[in-house]
Amino acid sequence: MAEYHYDVVVIGAGPAGEGAAMNAAKHGKRVAVIEDKDMVGGNCTHMGTIPSKALRHAVKQIITFNTNSMFRDIGEPRLFSFPRVLKSAERVINKQVKLRTQFYARNRIDLFNGQAYFLDENRIEIRGGKHANEILHARSVVIATGSRPYTPEDVNFRHRRIYSSDTILRLSHTPRTLIIYGAGVIGSEYASIFSGLGVKVDLINPGSRLLSFLDDEISDALSYHLRNNGVLVRHNEQYEKVEGDDHGVVLTLKSGKRIRADAFLWCNGRTGNTDKLGLENIGLETNSRGQLSVDQHYRTSLEHIYAAGDVIGWPSLASAAYDQGRATLSDEIEEVACHFVDDVPTGIYTIPEISSVGRTERELTEARIPYDVGQAFFKHLARAQITGEAVGMLKILFHRETRAILGIHCFGDQAAEIVHIGQAIMKQPGEANTLNYFINTTFNYPTMAEAYRVAALNGLNRIF
C-alpha cells in the first residue's frame, strides 16, 4: 500500500476542484486531485452544464431551420432524434476533457482515480478505481465533490423509461410525450430542449410559479414562451406515485390527476456527494441534503478542511464553483485574499435564455427603495431584426434619485452574454455605476448591446 504526502489534496475534479487545485499549484503547493470518474471535468462537463447547453444549441439550430422560410429552398421541416442531437454534445465534452487534462499536466498536479475516504483528519484512502488502496497525507484538504440528482426511494429509476437529469443523457430514442417533474432551472431547460425537438411535454411544478427567484416579469415571459412552444405547465402539483410499464409511465398526482407519457424525467432537487467520504471519521456533519456548511473563507468546522461548489449548496452554478474553489486555501496562501462569492449572475439556458444580476422589482418594492424601470424590447433593435431573434427584452432597474443601477434582467437570445455589460457597470465605484453611463456611451450599431442605450433612454423618460 503506497503512501504519498501533499500540501493540498483536492477531492473532485469539477469546476470547484479545478479552481482550488490550479490556484494552489500556481502558488508553489504540492497538489493532488482525487476523482472517482475516469475523466476530469466533474458533473459540469459530463452530465450537467456542458452537455445540456450543447444540446440546447443544437436544438436551437433545428428550430431556426424548421421555422425560417429562407431554408425552404433546401427542404421541408424535419424531425431530429434525441440521440443524433446528443452527438454534438459528446464532441464538446471530449474537447473539454482534453483541455482540462492538459491543465493538470501543465501544472504538475497528480491525478488519482478512485473514491476518496477519510481515515482521519490528514489521511485519505483511495477506494476502488485505478489507484485503489493508496493513501494520501495532506496538510489541507478541499472537498469539491459536487452533487447528484435527488432520487426518492419510491420512484424506480432502474425502469428504462424513468430518468433523472443525469441518466437522461443515455436516452436512446426520442419519446413522443414526456413528463418532467420539477420546474426549476434544470426542468425548465429540458422542457425547452425536448419541446424544440417536437416532443409533447408536461412540466409539473410543485410551486406556484416558474423560477420564483426571478423578476416576476421575466418569470411570466418564460411561462408564456414555454406554453407557446407546446409545453403544458401544471403548477401546485405534487406526485403521489410514478409507475412505469412496457409502454410508458403513469404519473399520479396528489390532486387525483393521472398523466401518461412515453418517458418520465425527474428534475426535483439535488444531493451533495458526501455519503461515501467517511466524514464520520473526522467529525464533519452534513445537512439533510448532504451539503457541508462553510464560513466566509470556505472552511468547514475543521480549519484545514475546506469545501466549495455544489457540495456547499447555493448557488450551485459552475461559474460560482470555480471562483469558490480559487478562494479556498487563502489562509494557507498568504498572498491570496479570500473572495467570498455572493454576487452571482443568473444564467438560465431555456429557449430563449434568461440572465439577471442584482435585485428584482419585488425585492426593491419590499425594501421601499424608490426605483424606476428602463426597458428595451428586442423586436425594436436592428440587430435582432437582422438575426431574426426578435423575442425578448432588457430591463434596467435604477434608483430614481441617484440613478444607480440596482438590477439588470434580460430575456431573449444571448441574454447570458448581454447581462455582463450591466454587471460590469454595477460594480463600478461612485457615480460611474449609474444610468448616465449608458446614456453617454456610444455603442456599436447594430448590436444587441445597444439595448442598454435604448433601455436607459426609456428609463430617463420616466423620471423627467
As for how many domains the chain has, the answer is 3
CATH number of the domain encompassing residue 374 = 3.30.390.30
Q: How many CB atoms lie within 10 A of CB 345?
A: 19
Using the 8-state DSSP alphabet, how is residue 443 labeled? P
Decide which of 268, 284, 308 is a domain's last residue: 268
**Is residue 314 situated within a structural domain?**
yes
**Is residue 342 situated within a structural domain?**
no
Do 278 and 424 belong together in one domain? no
Do 7 and 136 belong together in one domain? yes
What is the rounded CA–CA span in Å between residue 324 and residue 342?
10
Do 312 and 407 belong together in one domain? no
Do 107 and 236 belong together in one domain? no
Write out the residue range of the structural domain in which residue 317 sits: 3-149+271-327
Return the pLDDT at 6.
Answer: 97
What is the rounded CA–CA span in Å between residue 309 and residue 294?
11
**Is residue 338 situated within a structural domain?**
no
Cell digits for 293? Answer: 456548511
**Is residue 375 situated within a structural domain?**
yes
Q: List residues bridging with 393 in a β-sheet.
A: 377, 411
Cell digits for 286? Answer: 452534513
Return the pLDDT at 75.
Answer: 62
**Among 451, 453, 458, residue whose Cα is nearest residue 384:** 451
Do 169 and 198 belong together in one domain? yes
Do 27 and 121 belong together in one domain? yes
Return the pLDDT at 19.
Answer: 94
What is the rounded CA–CA span in Å between residue 31 and residue 325?
14
What is the rounded CA–CA span in Å between residue 307 and residue 198?
41
**Is residue 144 situated within a structural domain?**
yes
As separate numbers, helices (DSSP H) first and strands (DSSP E) second, the chain gives 12, 22
**Is residue 37 situated within a structural domain?**
yes
Do 122 and 227 belong together in one domain? no
CATH number of the domain encompassing residue 196 = 3.50.50.60
Burial status of residue 270 (CB atoms within 10 A of its CB: 0-12, 13-18, 19 or more): buried
- Measure Cα distances from 355 to 306, 347, 349, 427 in Å: 30, 5, 9, 17
What is the rounded CA–CA span in Å between residue 373 and residue 378?
16
**pLDDT tens digit sequence for 45-57:** 777 788 888 888 8
**pLDDT tens digit sequence for 115-127:** 999 999 999 999 9
Do 368 and 446 belong together in one domain? yes
**Is residue 27 situated within a structural domain?**
yes
Cell digits for 165? Answer: 437529469
Q: Is the dihedral of CA 56, 58, 64, 67 positive or negative?
A: negative
Do 10 and 90 belong together in one domain? yes
**Is residue 452 situated within a structural domain?**
yes
Give the contacts of 254 (CB within 8 A, at least 6 positions apart): 237, 238, 239, 240
Do 253 and 275 belong together in one domain? no
Do 187 and 224 belong together in one domain? yes
Q: What is the pLDDT along the chain (464 residues), one digit of tens a residue?
A: 688 899 999 999 999 999 999 999 999 999 999 999 888 888 877 777 888 888 888 888 877 777 777 665 666 656 677 888 888 778 888 888 888 889 999 999 999 999 999 999 999 999 998 889 999 999 999 999 999 999 999 999 999 999 999 999 888 888 999 999 999 999 999 999 999 999 999 999 999 999 999 999 999 999 999 999 999 999 999 999 999 999 999 999 999 999 999 999 999 999 999 999 999 999 999 999 999 999 999 999 999 999 999 999 988 888 899 999 999 988 888 766 778 888 899 999 999 999 999 999 999 999 999 999 999 999 999 999 999 999 999 999 999 999 999 999 999 999 999 999 999 999 998 878 999 999 999 999 999 999 999 999 999 999 87
Do 261 and 276 belong together in one domain? no
